[in-house]
């Protein structure tokens, strides 16, 4: 019988008796396998000695208390030293405020000094992303208090998940937080307890408003002996605490501790993960380590897919997060502003400071920045260049080796090497094109046309390379319904291959051209090219029955497109026979043949569209 799940609050109660430095590890053991509960517990975990029970929400507080011009209505939150109330101010103007007052059980000199320090720190700040202080004073029983702006919203993680904000929107929020934190740093204030619950976000007409709150353990740079540091206490929240903060000595705190926390918050927002103890895994690897159920929750909350999260994180964003979480403070960003600017560069598709720029990265940014106009043209053409010839040639080489057919093996090796060279060439060519400044937005047609032009100019002394490039482009033009341009590329590729006695590549290209012509309803030309490809494949020694079956399937499709159902069925049967003669099963091709056979049953003998 399974034990009932332990709640985050129960787990915290169990670890409070341990030294502060051991509590986080104990929580990980108690809540192993329940990441949501562990994240919540780590974000709630107090470190200031044995936190009072109020941290767990057990304090009895009577509402409707009046202090000066403020009527305290209800408790908004509690910490180890202060209680925050929702209060109504009635003079000199009426408004709702957040009213923070020292806890009645924390009247010792150290606690008072900490509270006064927070009050002084908040008074230094003046930024839209930070809370403003309105007034300060002391209650009749001698407890210091201050009234401040009432921040709307919920913790940043909660707001993002409930609203289903995308990865990009979450990055934009972090950038806002960074700029607010940078203002504090400019005023000499280090927050030291940045975490999701201390960042409130409200959504108003699709506009996100960020407020960084709770400067309870903040340190002013001009105060070299803050009360916590004099006591040598461990302050902050372990999950978001920089490594050096765990052994902090007087006067050592600096703004890079907040940079670490910002990186941890960013990781939590984007992946639902917190930094691992070793910091050896990249952000996308941490996401990949989630269980299936955890990933399901993460992608639902972000309205995306697992593949998109991994793709977005991999590379520049991985590097940005890793720089924030560097164990050595010297390896982190110099300022929160520098972090914000790098995130904004990432969002614009520009080079980021966290990684040196290279041509392949410029190509990837161009793809990400202009997905409609560029990604199809660039990604597809590179993939096609590799797949059209390499996969076929490698399989032919394997069959040739089994049959000890030296000629066929040499032929396949030549084709395979040619395809690899073509892939490298296309990658470099496209990188060059998209890296050049352009006065106007470029479409996929623009980019491919330029690639075709440059290939013709530069490859006139390398006919096999040019043929491979043009065959790949022809296939891509077909996928974009530009059959006129596809025909030009295929025709030039076939001409080059015929002149250089490249039978296998010629057959592959003729078959691709046949598919393009069928898509353009040029059935006679399509059949002629497919039959030429079939003749080439049948002439190979030993015959490649997979290629023969594939070509017969294309001929069946051409006949079916012309409403010649009987002829198509006969060709399909020939394709099955050829596939059965292959030395090894080809499940993928067999599945295609069966699927087309089912489709053929539904094709009516109606005149083909001209």
CATH number at residue 127: 3.30.200.20
Structure confidence at residue 250 (pLDDT): 54
- Between 520 and 225, the higher pLDDT residue: 520
Contact of 607 with 563, CB cutoff 8 Å: yes
Quickly state the pLDDT bin for 208 (edges 50, 70, 90): confident
- Top-ranked range on mean pLDDT: pick from 41-50, 399-408, 543-552: 543-552
Q: Enter the DSSP assignment of 562.
A: T
**Does one domain contain both 195 and 247?**
yes
- Top-ranked range on mean pLDDT: pick from 106-110, 268-272, 496-500, 541-545: 268-272
Give the domain-ending residue among 131, 148, 165. Answer: 148
Quickly state the pLDDT bin for 318 (edges 50, 70, 90): very high
Closest to 147 in 3D by CA, of 106, 88, 190: 88
d(CA 142, CA 112) in angstroms, rounded, equals 10
Residue 334 has pLDDT above 70, yes or no: yes
Share of the chain above pLDDT 70, in %: 74
d(CA 180, CA 178) in angstroms, rounded, equals 5
Give the domain-ending residue among 527, 543, 559. Answer: 543
- Between 511 and 428, the higher pLDDT residue: 511
**Does one domain contain both 267 and 217?**
yes
Residue 42 has pLDDT above 60, yes or no: yes
**Does one domain contain both 194 and 107?**
no
- Between 170 and 563, the higher pLDDT residue: 170
- Top-ranked range on mean pLDDT: pick from 74-78, 412-416, 435-439, 461-465: 74-78
**Lowest model confidence (mean pLDDT) among 374-388, 519-533, 586-600:** 374-388
**Does one domain contain both 304 and 176?**
yes
Q: Which residue has the tokens 């069928």?
A: 518
What number is the average pLDDT over the span 459-475? 79
Residue 271 has pLDDT above 70, yes or no: yes
**Lowest model confidence (mean pLDDT) among 114-128, 332-346, 368-382:** 368-382
Residue 320 has pLDDT above 90, yes or no: yes
**Does one domain contain both 427 and 476?**
yes
Taking the CB of residue 579, how many other CB atoms lie within 10 A of it?
21
Structure confidence at residue 451 (pLDDT): 73
- Between 208 and 54, the higher pLDDT residue: 208
Taking the CB of residue 610, how many other CB atoms lie within 10 A of it?
5
**Does one domain contain both 97 and 162?**
no
Residue 400 has pLDDT above 50, yes or no: no
**Does one domain contain both 178 and 287?**
yes
Contacts of 521 (CB under 8 A, 6+ apart): 561, 608, 609, 610
Structure confidence at residue 76 (pLDDT): 84
What number is the average pLDDT over the span 280-286? 84
**Does one domain contain both 166 and 119?**
no
**Does one domain contain both 173 and 142?**
no
Structure confidence at residue 70 (pLDDT): 94
Structure confidence at residue 526 (pLDDT): 92
d(CA 262, CA 321) in angstroms, rounded, equals 9
In a domain, 252, yes or no: yes
Structure confidence at residue 127 (pLDDT): 93
Quickly state the pLDDT bin for 337 (edges 50, 70, 90): very high
| Sheet (strand 70-78) strand order | 65-67, 70-78, 82-89, 95-102, 144-148, 133-138
Contact of 271 with 299, CB cutoff 8 Å: no
| CATH number for position 320 | 1.10.510.10
Structure confidence at residue 434 (pLDDT): 58
Two structure tokens written together for 419: 């395809």
What number is the average pLDDT over the span 325-348? 93
d(CA 367, CA 446) in angstroms, rounded, equals 14
Three-state DSSP at 300 gives: helix
In a domain, 168, yes or no: yes
Largest CA distance in the chain: 103
Structure confidence at residue 62 (pLDDT): 61
**Lowest model confidence (mean pLDDT) among 75-79, 157-161, 238-242, 330-334:** 75-79
Structure confidence at residue 519 (pLDDT): 80
The length of the chain in residues reads 610
The sign one gets for the Cα dihedral 363, 368, 372, 375 is positive
Q: Which residue has the tokens 């009577």?
A: 62
Residue 56 has pLDDT above 70, yes or no: no
| CATH number for position 455 | 1.25.40
d(CA 599, CA 581) in angstroms, rounded, equals 24
CA–CA distances in Å: residue 456 to residues 465, 467, 489 = 10, 10, 11
d(CA 503, CA 471) in angstroms, rounded, equals 14
Quickly state the pLDDT bin for 170 (edges 50, 70, 90): very high
Q: What's the Rg (C-alpha) of the chain?
A: 33
What number is the average pLDDT over the span 95-111? 88
**Does one domain contain both 290 and 347?**
yes
Share of the chain above pLDDT 90, in %: 25
Give the domain-ending residue among 327, 357, 387. Answer: 357
d(CA 455, CA 491) in angstroms, rounded, equals 15
Residue 272 has pLDDT above 90, yes or no: yes
- Between 383 and 36, the higher pLDDT residue: 36
**Lowest model confidence (mean pLDDT) among 33-42, 308-317, 364-373, 584-593:** 364-373
CA–CA distances in Å: residue 467 to residues 48, 102, 251, 382 = 71, 79, 68, 14
Closest to 269 in 3D by CA, of 344, 194, 349: 194
Q: Which domain does 502 fall in, by range?
A: 367-543
In a domain, 8, yes or no: no
**Lowest model confidence (mean pLDDT) among 57-61, 146-150, 568-572:** 57-61
- What is the full DSSP assignment across 191-243? -S---GGGEEEEEETTEEEEEE---TT-EETT-TT-HHHHHT---S-GGG--G
Paired strand residues for 71: 66, 88
In a domain, 603, yes or no: no
In a domain, 36, yes or no: no
**Does one domain contain both 279 and 334?**
yes
In a domain, 570, yes or no: no
In a domain, 586, yes or no: no
- Could you give the number of structural domains in the chain? 3
Structure confidence at residue 424 (pLDDT): 60
What number is the average pLDDT over the span 319-339? 94
Contact of 129 with 182, CB cutoff 8 Å: no
What number is the average pLDDT over the span 173-194? 93
Q: Which residue has the tokens 């060279």?
A: 421
Residue 37 has pLDDT above 90, yes or no: no
In a domain, 17, yes or no: no
**Does one domain contain both 309 and 186?**
yes
Structure confidence at residue 121 (pLDDT): 86
């Amino acid at each position: 019988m399974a034990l009932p799940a332990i709640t985050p609050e129960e787990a915290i109660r169990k670890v409070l008796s341990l030294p502060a430095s051991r509590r986080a590890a104990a929580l990980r053991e108690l809540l192993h396998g329940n990441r949501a509960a562990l994240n919540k517990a780590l974000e709630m975990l107090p470190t200031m000695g044995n936190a009072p029970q109020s941290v767990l929400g057990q304090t009895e507080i009577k509402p409707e208390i009046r202090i000066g011009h403020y009527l305290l209505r209800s408790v908004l939150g509690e910490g180890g030293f202060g209680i925050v109330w929702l209060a109504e101010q009635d003079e000199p103007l009426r408004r709702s405020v957040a009213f923070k007052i020292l806890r009645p059980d924390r009247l010792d000199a150290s606690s008072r000094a900490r509270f006064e320090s927070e009050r002084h720190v908040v008074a230094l700040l003046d930024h839209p992303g930070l809370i403003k202080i309105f007034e300060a004073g002391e209650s009749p029983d001698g407890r210091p208090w201050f009234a401040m702006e009432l921040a709307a919203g919920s913790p940043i993680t909660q707001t993002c998940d409930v609203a289903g904000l995308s990865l990009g929107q979450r990055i934009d929020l972090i950038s806002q937080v960074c700029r607010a934190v940078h203002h504090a740093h400019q005023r000499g204030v280090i927050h030291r307890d940045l975490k999701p619950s201390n960042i409130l976000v409200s959504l108003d007409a699709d506009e996100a408003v960020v407020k960084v709150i709770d400067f309870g353990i903040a340190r002013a740079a001009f105060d070299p002996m803050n009360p916590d540091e004099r006591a040598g206490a461990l302050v902050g929240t372990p999950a978001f605490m920089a490594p050096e903060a765990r052994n902090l000595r007087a006067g050592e705190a600096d703004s890079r501790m907040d940079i670490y926390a910002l990186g941890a918050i960013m990781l939590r927002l984007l992946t639902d993960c917190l930094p691992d103890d070793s910091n050896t895994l990249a952000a996308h690897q941490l996401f990949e380590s989630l269980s299936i159920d955890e990933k399901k929750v993460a992608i639902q909350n972000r309205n995306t897919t697992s593949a998109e999260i991994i793709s977005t994180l991999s590379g520049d964003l991985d590097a940005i997060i890793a720089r924030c979480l560097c164990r050595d403070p010297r390896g982190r960003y110099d300022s929160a502003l520098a972090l914000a600017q790098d995130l904004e560069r990432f969002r614009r598709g520009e080079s980021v400071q966290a990684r040196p720029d290279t041509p392949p990265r410029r190509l990837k940014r161009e793809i990400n920045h202009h997905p409609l106009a560029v990604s199809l043209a660039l990604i597809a053409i590179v993939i096609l260049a590799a797949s059209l010839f390499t996969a076929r040639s490698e399989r032919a080489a394997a069959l040739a080796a089994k049959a000890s057919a030296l000629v066929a093996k040499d032929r396949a090796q030549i084709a395979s090497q040619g395809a690899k060279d073509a892939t490298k060439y296309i990658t470099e060519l496209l990188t060059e094109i998209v890296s050049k400044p352009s006065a106007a937005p470029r479409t996929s047609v623009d980019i491919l046309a330029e690639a075709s032009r440059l290939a013709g100019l530069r490859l006139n002394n390398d006919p096999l390379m040019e043929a491979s490039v043009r065959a790949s482009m022809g296939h891509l033009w077909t996928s974009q319904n530009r059959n006129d341009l596809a025909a030009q590329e295929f025709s030039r590729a076939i001409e080059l291959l015929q002149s250089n006695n490249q039978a296998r590549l010629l057959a592959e290209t003729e078959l691709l051209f046949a598919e393009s012509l069928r898509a353009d309803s040029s059935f006679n030309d399509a059949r002629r090219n497919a039959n030429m490809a079939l003749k080439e494949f049948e002439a190979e020694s030993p015959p490649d029955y997979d290629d023969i079956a594939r070509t017969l399937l294309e001929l069946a499709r051409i006949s079916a497109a012309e409403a010649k159902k009987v002829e198509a069925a006969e060709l399909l049967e020939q394709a099955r026979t050829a596939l059965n003669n292959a030395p090894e099963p080809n499940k993928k091709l067999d599945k295609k043949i069966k699927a087309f056979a089912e489709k053929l049953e539904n094709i009516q003998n109606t005149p083909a569209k001209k």
